[in-house]
Amino acid sequence: MCGICGILYPSGNKNVDRTILERMNRQIVHRGPDDEGFFVEGNVGLAMRRLSIIDIQTGHQPIANEDETFWIVFNGEIYNHAELRADLERQGHQYRTRSDTETIVHLYEQYGRDCVKYLRGMFAFAIWDRNRKTLFAARDRLGIKPFYYRFDGNEFLFGSEIKAILACPGVRAELSTGVLAEYLAFGYLAGPQTMFAGINKLLPGHTLEVDAS
């Protein structure tokens, strides 16, 4: 189990405060006691807590592609990463680690948003595309790995757990009364809403993309 979180100001008119990102990441330290990592650049910040399983020595995150135009934070395990790696290397991609995380970022470099079609495993990840100034996120088909987010029109926040989002200044833990009846009737929420107002979950098998528009 690992944990990821991040901040994006899509309009680019505000820079990420690293101390806030660090505060978010501390909320999920129990998900990854072995390592932590940060990528902060202008209006975007990515962070992760790692439980080292694959490529213990060199699998530090965030990880970038060869020219560092794409940066990823990832929670999960990709079962077919070895065969994907062989194919990507034949196409000219150069690896710096043995991790399954790096395979995802090269897949995105090669196929863009269609990269998820090639993945077999459990995953939640976010990729910052420096060229297009977009954040791309995806969640596995069964929803094994969690991905929560909040977007108020100016600030996009995400995390493996809601508590990471609640650690941000100005975010209040308010009950979403509109979904209370559904939760009391069925014991869960089928849609993207959560019990916290303004905080949604990315549904299983779904992706999202955030840009300046």
Q: What are the Cα distances from residue 145, in Å, to 34, 48, 110?
A: 19, 14, 24
β pairing state of 199-201 and 63-64: unpaired
| Measured distance CA(141)–CA(213) in Å, rounded | 27
One of 2, 5, 115, 168 is an active-site residue; which one?
2
Assess whether 115 carries a catalytic annotation.
no
Cα dihedral 106, 142, 54, 3 in deg (nearest 10): 90
Residue type, 203: L
**Cα 96 versus chain centre, distance:** 21
SS3 state at 200: strand
- DSSP-based helix, strand, coil % in the chain, nearest 5: 25, 30, 45
Tell me which residues are annotated as active site.
2
